[in-house]
Structure 1
Amino acid sequence: MRRRTWALLIVGLAALGLYGLNASWLAPAPHGRPSLVAQRGLHQIYNSQPVGPSDCTAQRILPPTHRLIDNTLPSMAAAIAAGADVVELDVRRTADNAFVVFHDEGLDCRTQGHGLVSAHTVADLQTLDVGYGYTADGGRSFPLRGAGVGGMPTLAQTLAAFPRQRFLIQFKDGGPATADALAAYLAQAKITDWSRLTFFGGPVTLRRLQALHPGVRVMDQRAAAKCAVRYFALGWSGVTPKACRGIITIVSLDQSWLAWGWPNRYLARMRAAGSDVLVIGAVDNPKSGAFRRVNTPAQLERLPAGFDGMIWTDRIDLVGPAARKRWP
């Protein structure tokens, strides 16, 4: 009986210590406001059915409420006006070693063009209508045709159009050669200020870019996943794993309970480790990496009043105004 009492006492003290180490309310509350990351600007909304890697999302849009098209200058301007601190965009390498802002590998889904983006020059690509293939009724009508003629900007044109805006730039082509080409392209375009640019994509591409430009800001989803696993294993002890230092960590609201000390304690630990925190909505498939972003004002209520991380959204039109009210 005495042994059992001692065992219960030890377990209770251990639980109390674990709680004390990770209690959010015992940590300093953050004092700031979040940065909103607008996915591809203000764009058309797709239906909620799962999207496969070969699916043409332009054929999956809901009935349009506006004529803006993702990855175009008007969509970026609208996102910034709605409150975006960072605009996410996709870049593809062209036949003449430039980089255009476009999502797909091929042209047939969204445009009237054919073949791969990489087989065409910028001059060819900028004659296309990037709204040509969008339909909400299975191809009976194409409400955005004509709205995107000449609407595929180069990366250099985009950076020049928004000279003070921060961007999250996704490499849609991978490999060290892509990093080499991008660095040469930006140098030729006389883009010297990389401080407002964050890059993400394959780890090989990112490592090569970091070798070319030490200190360049990157978001490596594999590194973030590694951090999440190791933090779950060790974070309960108050230790911040080396894998979580100096990176952008990713926390989904539906799995935030896995982040020891969430929100205040976790945020303080990542800040001390020199890492930024990016919040998404939910993880749909951990193996494939499929996830949903923060797309409703109600989700913002799950974040602390002084949250100073980043919020990634597909609905800057909804989340932007709500965030302005929550974080004036």
Structure 2
Amino acid sequence: MRKKLRYSIAAIAVFAAAVYLNNTNLLASHREGKPVLLAHRGIAQRFDERDLTNDTCTAARMLPPKHDYLENTILSMRAGFDLGADIVEVDVHPTTDGEFAIFHDWMLDCRTNGHGVTREHSMVEMKALDIGYGYTADGGKTFPFRGAGIGQMPTLAEVLQTFPDRRLLINVKSRDPLEGEKLAAVLNALPGEHRELIMVYGGDEPIQTIRRLAPDIKTASRASLKACLLAYIGYGWTGILPQACKNTMMLVPVNIAPWLWGWPDRFLNRMEAGNSVVFALGPYRGGDFSTGIDTPELLAKLPADYSRGIWTNDIEATGKLREN
């Protein structure tokens, strides 16, 4: 009996040592350099983020503006890159005349002087809209951007042409697989070196379609993020990277990261070996992954020498923090 107990204790000790050695960062290589910054919506007007729902009109909750840029415009994207963004995120909607409009909202009514579902309009119609029409920081007393946003809604084609050598993250706002087909056709028409700069995330159905039709494009959806995280937490201690974690974009909240086997360097090296990229987010508290690394306090939750991806909603502030 005692002999069996000793064998069991020895086996447990050997197993624990193997898990430790396979996941300790003491034996992991570390990539030097500065973090890779992903600017959510380029440089945008900030808004009160408390108690948001899918129906919240964020333009009506704008904080006092610190700059004149409107999100998802060529000007805001260029400013985002100039302020230190390595990647800029844009939102797309298909239009009735075969284009993709760069615009965040499902409906036009909040931000613009238009009405109705965004994807039910032509690009010709939306080019005539004022995308700064609905912004107010004082409950509707003043609208500082009215008139400034006329004609500023770009097409995806214009963005790709303007930034052929810059990295972009495209957000598909729908769950329509046909939108995935249309976007895959646009991306597959690009030169290979341009496609390497593009990532796509969004609804499960269009992302599954893009993964099938444009398999070289890195993608992410709620389903793929969940599948990767659960599989990695389940058996990532072995050093084996789950298939769900390969050729993908992974979003990791800072309060979840320490629970990942081998965080930071072992985990990040494994993801990189699987042709995947990782971006750290702010804390996950349920709902959508929209909180960015936007303050010194959140940046401090990452390793001091962290050199992989960071998702930020405030590229102006985070770009300065990276340089310090």
TM-score (norm 1): 0.89
Structure 1 residues 31, 109: closer, same or farther in 2, change over 3 A? Answer: same
CA 1:170–1:270 in structure 2 vs 1: closer, same or farther (change >3 Å)? same
The aligned counterpart of 2:236 is 235
Report the 3-state secondary structure (helix = DSSP H, G, I; strand = E; otherwise coil) of the residue aligned with 1:284: coil
Pairing 1:1-328 to 2, within 5 Å after superposition: 6=6, 14-184=15-185, 191-192=190-191, 193-285=194-286, 288-304=287-303, 306-325=305-324
C-alpha deviation, 1:60, in angstroms: 1.3
- Unaligned 5+ segments in structure 2 are none
Distance 1:58 1:96, change over 3 A: same
Deviation, structure 1 residue 284: 1.6
CA root-mean-square deviation: 2.5
The structural deviation recorded for 1:52 is 0.4
CA contact (8 A) 1:22 1:238 kept: yes
1:185-239 CA-to-partner distances (Å, cap 9, x unmatched) read: 568xx74432221111123212322333342232233212211111111123333
1:159 partner letter: L
Structure 1 residues 25 and 291: alpha-carbon distance in aligned structure 2, compared to 1, 3 A threshold: farther
Deviation at residue 107 of structure 1 after TM alignment:
0.9
Q: Determine the C-alpha separation between the residues in 2 that align with 1:303 and 1:205.
A: 32
Cα 1:302–1:124 change in 2 (3 A) is same
The one-letter amino acid paired with 2:67 is H
Report how many residues are paired: 321
- Determine the C-alpha separation between the residues in 1 that align with 2:269 and 2:197: 24
Q: Secondary structure at the match of 2:195?
A: coil
CA distance in 1, matches of 2:247, 2:186: 27
Task: Tell me the distance in 2 between the aligned counterparts of 1:100 and 1:220.
Answer: 20
Shift of 1:242: 2.6
Aligned partners of 1:191 and 1:235: how far apart in 2?
Answer: 35
Q: Contact 1:47–1:61 at 8 Å: present in 2 too?
A: yes
> In 2, Cα distance between the equivalents of 1:290 and 1:90?
15
Distance in 2 (CA, whole Å) between partners of 1:116 and 1:178 is: 15
Change (3 A) 1:184 1:232: closer
Label 1:158 to 1:246 Cα distance change in 2 as closer, same or farther (>3 A).
closer
* Helix, strand or coil at the partner of 1:283: coil
Q: Would you say the 8 A contact 2:88–2:169 is kept in 1? A: yes
| CA separation of 1:55 and 1:225: change in aligned 2, threshold 3 A | same
- Superimposed CA distance per residue, residues 145-172 of structure 1 (whole angstroms, 9 cap, x where no aligned partner): 1221111111111122222111100111
Aligned-pair distance for 1:89?
0.4
* Preserved CA contact (<8 Å) 2:199 2:249: no
For 1:194 and 1:272, the matched residues in 2 are separated by: 19
The answer to whether the 8 A contact 1:253-1:279 is kept is yes
| 1-structure distance, mates of 2:47, 2:3 | 61
Q: Say if 1:284 and 1:291, in contact at 8 Å, map to a contact too.
A: no
Structure 2 contact 218–276 (Cα < 8 Å) conserved: no
CA separation of 1:195/1:59 partners in 2, compared to 1, >3 Å: closer, same or farther?
Answer: same
Please give the TM-score of this superposition, normalised by the length of structure 2.
0.90
Change (3 A) 1:208 1:5: closer
Q: Secondary structure at the match of 1:292?
A: coil
User: Is the CA contact (8 Å cut-off) linking 1:93 and 1:173 kept in structure 2?
Assistant: no
Cα offset for 1:98?
0.8
Cα 1:310/1:13, change in 2 over 3 Å: same
1:235 is paired with a residue whose SS is: helix
One-letter amino acid matched to 2:319 = G
